[in-house]
C-alpha cells in the first residue's frame, strides 16, 4: 500500500511541474515575404459536358441506319449495358449498367423516362 501511495505522489508532482517548464515561441520580427507571380495555363476538353455521369445517346437516324425497331435492341448497343428479356416481343425487360441493377439505371426516350 505504501508503494502505491508514493507512486501516486510522484505522478502528481510531475504533473504539477510539466506546465511550468513549457514556453511558447516568441516572434519578434513582423516581416512578410513575396513570391513571384504564378501563371496557370490549361485547356478545355471539346464537347458539351452537362452532367457528372456519362450520358450515351442514339439518334433516330442512327436507329434507322442500324435497323433497330425495339428499345431493348437499341439499349444493347451502349457500352456496359445489359438487357434481360422476360417474355419476347412486348414482354418485360430490365436494364442495368455495369451490374448496378435496374433500380440505379435511368432510360429516357425523347425526354420522357421509360
Instruction: Write out pLDDT tens, residues 91-103.
Output: 788 888 887 877 8
What confidence tens digit (pLDDT) does each residue in 12-40 have? 776 666 555 556 666 666 677 788 898 98
Domain presence at residue 98: yes
Domain presence at residue 91: yes
**Does the predicted model carry a pTM greater than 0.85?**
no
Domain presence at residue 30: no
Domain boundaries, position 96: 69-113
Q: With CA atoms as reference, report the closest residue to 77 among 65, 68, 85, 87.
A: 68
- As for how many domains the chain has, the answer is 1
State the alpha helices, DSSP H only, in the chain.
2-17, 60-66, 71-75
Cell of 66: 442500324
Domain presence at residue 25: no
Q: Give the angle 76-114-107 at the CA atoms, nearest 5°.
A: 45
Domain presence at residue 6: no
Domain presence at residue 5: no
Domain presence at residue 90: yes
Domain presence at residue 8: no
Distance CA 93, CA 111 (A): 20
Amino acid at each position: 500500500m505504501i508503494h502505491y501511495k508514493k507512486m501516486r505522489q510522484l505522478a502528481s508532482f510531475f504533473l504539477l511541474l510539466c506546465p511550468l517548464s513549457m514556453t511558447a515561441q516568441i516572434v519578434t520580427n513582423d516581416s512578410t515575404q513575396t513570391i513571384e507571380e504564378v501563371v496557370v495555363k490549361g485547356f478545355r476538353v471539346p464537347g458539351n459536358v452537362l452532367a457528372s455521369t456519362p450520358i450515351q445517346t442514339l439518334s433516330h437516324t442512327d436507329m434507322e441506319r442500324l435497323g433497330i425497331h425495339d428499345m431493348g435492341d437499341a439499349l444493347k448497343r451502349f457500352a456496359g449495358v445489359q438487357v434481360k428479356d422476360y417474355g419476347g416481343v412486348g414482354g418485360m425487360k430490365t436494364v442495368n449498367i455495369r451490374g448496378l441493377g435496374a433500380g440505379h439505371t435511368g432510360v429516357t426516350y425523347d425526354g420522357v423516362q421509360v
